[in-house]
Amino acid sequence: MPAVSKGDGMRGLAVFISDIRNCKSKEAEIKRINKELANIRSKFKGDKALDGYSKKKYVCKLLFIFLLGHDIDFGHMEAVNLLSSNKYTEKQIGYLFISVLVNSNSELIRLINNAIKNDLASRNPTFMCLALHCIANVGSREMGEAFAADIPRILVAGDSMDSVKQSAALCLLRLYKASPDLVPMGEWTARVVHLLNDQHMGVVTAAVSLITCLCKKNPDDFKTCISLAVSRLSRIVSSASTDLQDYTYYFVPAPWLSVKLLRLLQCYPPPEDAAVKGRLVECLETVLNKAQEPPKSKKVQHSNAKNAILFETISLIIHYDSEPNLLVRACNQLGQFLQHRETNLRYLALESMCTLASSEFSHEAVKTHIETVINALKTERDVSVRQRAVDLLYAMCDRSNAPQIVAEMLSYLETADYSIREEIVLKVAILAEKYAVDYTWYVDTILNLIRIAGDYVSEEVWYRVIQIVINRDDVQGYAAKTVFEALQAPACHENLVKVGGYILGEFGNLIAGDPRSSPLIQFNLLHSKFHLCSVPTRALLLSTYIKFVNLFPEVKPTIQDVLRSDSQLRNADVELQQRAVEYLRLSTVASTDILATVLEEMPPFPERESSILAKLKKKKGPSTVTDLEDTKRERSVDVNGGPEPAPASTSAMSTPSPSADLLGLGAAPPAPAGPPPSSGGGGLLVDVFSDSASVVAPLAPGSEDNFARFVCKNNGVLFENQLLQIGLKSEFRQNLGRMFIFYGNKTSTQFLNFTPTLICSDDLQPNLNLQTKPVDPTVEGGAQVQQVVNIECVSDFTEAPVLNIQFRYGGTFQNVSVQLPITLNKFFQPTEMASQDFFQRWKQLSNPQQEVQNIFKAKHPMDTEVTKAKIIGFGSALLEEVDPNPANFVGAGIIHTKTTQIGCLLRLEPNLQAQMYRLTLRTSKEAVSQRLCELLSAQF
């Protein structure tokens, strides 16, 4: 073995590590470490100056001791001194020690920054890389502020070495992720895009990672990367494994770079240039073709790399959702994976097909695999794969296959894992309602659901079946007969007793003519379950009994005896006792007419969103439910005969899809400008004889309250009357936004000349650009139409646009106006700040014109969690452990407009004793402070 020179090896370090490994006990190890620490401390404090080698050796020992889990409280200065050495090994150890041990708040940061600055200016590529690695590893805000402007220059400099460019790109990415506000966008952004053409594949890979992160917040600045990314991807995909030898992984050329390029393309809509789009489609087809080729290696690494590119390609095809041929091919390729022996591939195939099922181009292709998916549901060993199979069956379900899918899910439910039973119950209930043509099938399905998985049937499910039975005359008799038969089973789930009690109480008279279901038999059947039920169910059954008194006078004495019994009148539960006393008295003193009036049949329920769907959205997350529902090709009318509801879930808004064209503000004609809302009188029906579009109705009653509710949320029902429902779903990013307005016709009659118009006042027009897509002038009864509004905030504003809807209903002219909830806070981007930075910025905004304060009485209960949710929903970041008083709430963010960015700090101080709040807002613009304060104050 060749001797190790003093400059290259550290014998003392090797001996120390050997001693530690040879220690027989923890005590012996601590003793040896303490001895070494004492020796190192004496060397550092000694009169004799240490040479670079000795410093490096002792710093290495300290680093090793730290990695063993012991605290190190000295040696930092010696490590900093190593940074000034001209020897690579000494400088490397110095940077390594600093990266691991130096705290970002250390007093030595200034000295370290000076050393880093010297190395970056040295033009020595090795030293520059060490400095860049250190900046990335420490990643503190102080280092970001010191070097954020220098690193982009190094990255795009023509004389920078490839290794330096690579390190600079990754370092800048680290700083941007830690503190986005510190990285300035400038002329370098256009030049960094051209790194995608660099000859060095490592530089390209690092640049793609950086651009992908940057373009998510600044898409316009990096739009030119699309053509370059397609060009680079085309070269990789069409190359042989020998062409990129240094970057070929198990016969797959540059798999990591290919995946990164495909992900970068998913940040943008399909290319507008026909040549670029054609080249990209050719690339995607090539990847799909290669997936069909026999593998070039049996190694798992080869198949992993190949499949990684394939799945990312399919993700891009799904994202574009514009190439029918590619979508169908992707679906067929995924279908082959459904029976693959590798569990992960089966899981990924099912997950991707769930998204494909929502595309109008590939929905039918997905349905061809229904038998395979059902088989996976029955035979798959892994529960997570079975869960994805349930999701796919739910996604591919439509009117043609609903009975089969619902039957299979019910069959699986009997043996399903307990963790996913509730979710399956919700999905079966939704599908049975959504695609029920024969409502007797719907009733049978829900009762079967309760029988199989009663413990997992939530209140929302049995509430919904009762709503539907009450709203549909044609199913009431069948429902009464079916629940009566189901209740005859020796053991019934309590949810079945609830449904049976409610339906028999309302419609038991429809089956009372049959001697087998006479009134007394109905009563005895229900009362036999009474003592086995919980208090809420008993309360419901008591209400059923008093309904029987009205429906069947012949059982009145029997029911009065039950109500009069001590077990009811002296029940320990106050609710049961009160009901028994009141119902007994009502049945005794009230005349037949009064009883018939008080206990008349329940009226139909108003049309509204299915609470089951809302629960599923809350359980699964909106992105897995809402998107599939919104993009289904078959928008069916719900069971109650109303339109598919506008997204009104109170769950969090789904993450904007990368395909959402927030930048396509020029894609639609501008909204027709109209006069401001009239302040004159007039109600919903403005003029029954005229279609005059010049008359704009005043704001509808309750419009202001609905508007205020949307300040801190983006989805919900904006307006509803007996004819029309208006729902909203919106998303905002920086100064751009997109709003989906859903108009639902709640009647069975057409709306004619249906004309929605967006009206901006003269003051609002220069500050807010609104562009809409036209709506079909005829809205069928029970149907729903959607209108898309693209929004651009040019400058700060205080007013809100008005949405005016005019149409003819049954020959009568209708005119409705509501405020559209586009408020300044929608263009808020949250900003995380440390306590020191917050109060430093707070002091900078201390001019009287920059601060607005409001002290006001709480209008709602002062709940901490609700307050936090409202501040986050308002758009700002909620900063924890910033305010000295933990009861106070502190937030920070930036209002983005086309012309400027306005930083905003807020502080909310609750006083629980006085039931009051003090809200303080500081921004660089008085009008913005005033408007934000008005909007936020109204929420508490």
378 is in an annotated binding site: no
> Are 230 and 283 within 8 A, CB to CB?
yes
Q: Which structure tokens are listed for 98?
A: 């600093």
Q: Is residue 808 part of a domain?
A: yes
The answer for residues whose C-beta is within 8 angstroms of residue 258's C-beta and 6 or more apart is 233, 236, 237, 309, 312
The whole-number pLDDT of residue 798 equals 85
583 is in an annotated binding site: no
53 is in an annotated binding site: yes
* 675 against 616, higher pLDDT: 616
What is the largest distance, in Å, between two alpha-carbon atoms of the chain? 113
pLDDT tens-digit map of 21-57: 999 999 999 999 999 899 988 888 877 778 888 888 8
pLDDT tens-digit map of 145-190: 888 888 888 888 888 888 999 999 999 999 888 888 888 777 788 8
> Are 830 and 874 within 8 A, CB to CB?
no
Q: Which of 2-6, 192-196, 258-262 has the lowest mean pLDDT?
A: 2-6
Domain boundary among 396, 417, 435: 396
In which element (H, E) is residue 484 found?
Answer: helix 473-486
839 with 794, same domain: the answer is no
> Are 814 and 806 within 8 A, CB to CB?
yes
The whole-number pLDDT of residue 539 equals 92
> Are 678 and 697 within 8 A, CB to CB?
yes
In this predicted structure, the answer to whether residue 633 has a pLDDT above a threshold of 50 is no
Bridge partner list, 857: 916
356 with 375, same domain: the answer is yes
The answer for residues whose C-beta is within 8 angstroms of residue 673's C-beta and 6 or more apart is 759, 760, 765
> Are 166 and 130 within 8 A, CB to CB?
no
711 with 780, same domain: the answer is yes
The answer for residues whose C-beta is within 8 angstroms of residue 422's C-beta and 6 or more apart is 456, 458, 619
Chain Cα centroid distance, residue 266: 17
803 with 837, same domain: the answer is no
Q: Cα separation of 409 and 420, whole Å? A: 12
Q: How far apart are the first and last CA of the chain?
A: 77
Q: Is residue 456 part of a domain?
A: yes
Q: Cα separation of 393 and 390, whole Å? A: 5
- What CATH number has the domain bearing residue 887? 3.30.310.10
Say whether 356 sits in a helix, a strand or coil.
helix
Q: Cα separation of 559 and 532, whole Å? A: 18
pLDDT tens-digit map of 784-807: 888 888 888 888 888 888 888 888
Q: Cα separation of 197 and 453, whole Å? A: 59
Q: Tell me, what amino acid is at 475?
A: V
Give the mean model confidence (pLDDT) for residues 857-870.
82
The whole-number pLDDT of residue 619 equals 63
Q: How far is CA 673 from CA 69, 111, 736, in A?
A: 69, 61, 20
Q: Cα separation of 605 and 608, whole Å? A: 9
> Are 639 and 603 within 8 A, CB to CB?
no
The whole-number pLDDT of residue 4 equals 38
The answer for residues whose C-beta is within 8 angstroms of residue 471's C-beta and 6 or more apart is 604, 605, 639, 640, 641
Give the mean model confidence (pLDDT) for residues 104-109.
71
The whole-number pLDDT of residue 682 equals 36
For residues 342, 348, 351, 354, the Cα torsion angle rounded to the nearest 10 degrees is -90
Q: How far is CA 395 from CA 264, 324, 445, in A?
A: 27, 18, 19
Strands 901-911 and 889-896: antiparallel
Instruction: Tokens 């390190």: give the residue.
Output: 167
702 is in an annotated binding site: no
The model's pTM: 0.60
The whole-number pLDDT of residue 169 equals 92
- The confidence band for 636, taking pLDDT boundaries of 50, 70 and 90, is very low
The answer for residues whose C-beta is within 8 angstroms of residue 365's C-beta and 6 or more apart is 327, 328, 331, 332, 356
Q: Is residue 183 part of a domain?
A: no
The answer for residues whose C-beta is within 8 angstroms of residue 151's C-beta and 6 or more apart is 132, 135, 168, 171, 172, 175
Q: What is the DSSP letter of 699?
A: B
Cβ neighbours, 10 Å, residue 525 = 16
Burial 762-792 (b: 16+ CB within 10 A, else e): eebeebbbbbbeebeeebeebbbbbbbbbbb
Note every long-range contact of 301-305, with CB atoms under 8 Å and residues 24 or more positions apart, other chains counting.
301/249, 301/250, 302/250, 302/251, 302/252, 303/342, 305/249, 305/250, 305/252, 305/255
- Counting DSSP H helices and E strands in the chain, the numbers are 39, 16
411 with 388, same domain: the answer is no
492 is in an annotated binding site: no
Say whether 82 sits in a helix, a strand or coil.
helix
Q: How far is CA 213 from CA 134, 217, 298, 563, 824, in A?
A: 21, 8, 35, 70, 26
Domain boundary among 396, 422, 442: 396
860 with 921, same domain: the answer is yes
> Are 287 and 237 within 8 A, CB to CB?
yes
12 is in an annotated binding site: yes
pLDDT tens-digit map of 913-922: 888 888 898 8
Strands 715-720 and 724-733: antiparallel
What's the chain's Rg over C-alpha atoms?
35
864 with 757, same domain: the answer is no
* 14 against 629, higher pLDDT: 14
545 is in an annotated binding site: no
The whole-number pLDDT of residue 105 equals 64
pLDDT tens-digit map of 381-405: 888 888 889 999 998 888 888 899 9
482 with 535, same domain: the answer is no
Q: What is the DSSP letter of 1?
A: -
Cβ neighbours, 10 Å, residue 913 = 6
Q: Cα separation of 170 and 208, whole Å? A: 10
pLDDT tens-digit map of 746-796: 887 888 888 898 888 888 888 888 888 788 888 888 888 888 888 888 888
442 with 379, same domain: the answer is no
Q: Is residue 111 part of a domain?
A: no
193 is in an annotated binding site: no
Cβ neighbours, 10 Å, residue 447 = 21
- The confidence band for 665, taking pLDDT boundaries of 50, 70 and 90, is very low
Domain, as residue range, for 436:
397-487
Please give the mean pLDDT across all residues of the chain: 82
715 with 809, same domain: the answer is yes
The whole-number pLDDT of residue 524 equals 92
Q: Is residue 689 part of a domain?
A: no
Q: Which of 229-238, 327-336, 713-722 has the lowest mean pLDDT?
A: 713-722
456 with 423, same domain: the answer is yes
Q: Is residue 468 part of a domain?
A: yes
Give the number of domains in the chain.
Answer: 6
Domain boundary among 101, 136, 153: 101
Q: What is the DSSP letter of 69?
A: T
Q: Which structure tokens are listed for 440?
A: 């007797």
404 with 389, same domain: the answer is no
Q: Which of 104-108, 205-209, 517-521, 715-719 has the lowest mean pLDDT?
A: 104-108
177 is in an annotated binding site: no
Q: Is residue 586 part of a domain?
A: yes
Q: Is residue 158 part of a domain?
A: no
